[in-house]
Amino acid sequence: MADLAIDLAGIRSPNPFWLASAPPTNSGYQVMRAFEAGWGGAVWKTLGEPIVNVTSRFGGLDFKQTKMIGMNNIELITDRPLEDNLREIEQVKRAFPDRAIVASLMEMPERRRWHELVKAVQAVGVDGFELNFGCPHGMSERGMGSAVGQIPDLVAQTTAWVVEVSRVPVIVKLTPNITDVRHTARGAVEGGAHAVSMINTINSLIGVDLDSWKPIPQVDGQSSHGGYCGPAVKPIALNMVAECARDERVGIPISGIGGIASWQDAVEFMLMGATNVQVCTAVMHHGFGIVEDMIDGLNNYLDGRGIASAGDIVGKSVDRMTTWENLNLAYKVVARIDQDVCIHCNKCYIACEDAAHQCIDRVVSSDGRDTVVVDESECVGCNLCAMICPVDCIHMLEVDTGEPSQSWKQRQALAGLETR
């Protein structure tokens, strides 16, 4: 079997699957149960000055028959005394010395207070710190969380305060609620961070009850913006990981977070530059036991490809990401329908006719049935028909255009030369 052990900036764990800082890591009881199930590490629910939470706190986004493709929360950091958390962290680390325990921290933007918190927490034997500069609700109104994480200079300054006294690696957790996450990642590097993690939750309002007109979740008839997570945020998170992974000014390890629910999701994040992944919503939906399938799936995937260790796939797809101006304009794919599999539902015809490029025709086949065929000379290869086909009978096939590879950037450069 492949070696699943990973090393994130000096923090080692037996596999790349960690629990993210969230309700599932709120107590020693929970983290011990998670480690017994097989999780390689856990980021303890954010420590700081204990707060008072509200009820209710969560809202779910369902799509047709699928429950909770997205989740919104207005829960804040720990509501438990610091001494209770520290005692339990020490107990868990003693019971599971091979697992990574990282303490998520949040504090007012004052050097002294950060120093005091870091010294108190590292005394119980944590393997690292994760600085919560991402929480978009509640704490941000108090000058913490994303109020810091949206300003690169504050990220750099606060990170530097922690690095001054920390004896363990420091991870900076980045907010997605910003135009370009690379700028805050660079701020973390400037402050001396050993790694970054992303993404924290996205600012959101999950919905409004159409009977009562109350926003969801409601607290005595009112609500607040909250943090959005779950499978629906995965594409956003994956892009931000890729952007930082290919930025030479970042250049430190990445812990991937955002919509990860399977070993396949984890592999995608790792291929795009994440050394490990953190999971929250999927555990809240299905429990700690999902890690068994994640471990087995990753093992089988690596073994099937003859890959010796999980670390060997990290970043292998990063160089395949570029900007649009560098894409090959001469490359072409067209849709082709497998008539033996087609169920003649006409969904592809409707989608192409109403919302794409009108290149699918309805014709009468030799047996007298209506059928759909692609006019490949008109097909632009947009993928829409293949995406909506309920039986996967449409395949996108590469065709030779006879044109040399050329990007928009190259065309512009040639046009510039021709006008001189």
CATH of the domain at 79: 3.20.20.70
Do 13 and 133 belong to one domain?
yes
Count how many domains the chain has.
2
Instruction: Tell me the pLDDT of the chain averaged across its residues.
Output: 95
Do 28 and 155 belong to one domain?
yes
Q: What is the pLDDT of residues 393-405, one digit of tens each?
A: 999 999 999 999 9
Do 94 and 177 belong to one domain?
yes
pLDDT value for 365: 73
Do 248 and 391 belong to one domain?
no
pLDDT value for 196: 98
Return the structure tokens found at 385.
């028909």
Q: Which of 301, 317, 333 is the last residue of a domain?
A: 317
Do 130 and 207 belong to one domain?
yes
pLDDT value for 134: 84
Do 379 and 303 belong to one domain?
no
- Measured between alpha carbons, how far is 242 from 272 in angstroms, rounded to an integer? 5
Q: Residue 349: in which H helix or E strand, if any?
A: helix 347-355
Residue 1: pLDDT band with limits 50, 70, 90: confident
b/e map 37-73, b = 16+ CB within 10 Å: ebbbbbbbbbbbeebeebeeebbbbeeeeeebbbbbb
Q: What is the pLDDT of residues 169-184, one digit of tens each?
A: 999 999 999 999 999 9
**208 belongs to a structural domain:** yes
**371 belongs to a structural domain:** yes
Q: Which residues are catalytic?
A: 135
Q: What is the mean pLDDT of residues 258-287?
A: 98
pLDDT value for 329: 96
pLDDT value for 137: 79
Do 246 and 358 belong to one domain?
no
Q: What is the pLDDT of residues 12-58, one digit of tens each?
A: 999 999 999 999 999 999 999 999 999 999 999 999 998 899 999 99
* Cα atoms found within 13 Å of the Cα of residue 254, Cβ hemisphere only: 33
**404 belongs to a structural domain:** yes
Candidates 216, 233, 125, 117; CA nearest to 175 is: 233
Of all residues in the chain, the percent with pLDDT exceeding 70 is 99
> CB within 8 A of 139, min separation 6: which ones?
51, 76, 77, 106, 132, 145, 147
Do 60 and 139 belong to one domain?
yes
Do 53 and 106 belong to one domain?
yes
pLDDT value for 419: 67
Q: What is the pLDDT of residues 244-257, one digit of tens each?
A: 999 999 999 999 99
Q: Which of 266, 296, 317 is the last residue of a domain?
A: 317
**236 belongs to a structural domain:** yes
pLDDT value for 31: 98
Tell me which residue range forms the domain holding 249.
Answer: 6-317
**200 belongs to a structural domain:** yes
Do 98 and 162 belong to one domain?
yes
Q: Work out the end-to-end distance of the chain between its first and last CA atoms, rounded to an integer number of angstroms.
A: 61
Q: What is the mean pLDDT of residues 347-354?
A: 97
CATH of the domain at 330: 3.30.70.20
Q: What is the pLDDT of residues 55-90, one digit of tens each?
A: 999 999 999 999 999 999 999 999 999 999 999 999
Do 265 and 414 belong to one domain?
no
Residue 306 predicted with pLDDT over 90: yes
Do 308 and 364 belong to one domain?
no
Please tell me the pTM assigned to this model: 0.95
Residue 370 predicted with pLDDT over 90: no
**1 belongs to a structural domain:** no
DSSP string, 270-285: HHTTEEEEEE-HHHHH
**349 belongs to a structural domain:** yes
Q: How far is CA 285 from the centre of its chain?
A: 17
Q: Which of 256, 284, 317 is the last residue of a domain?
A: 317
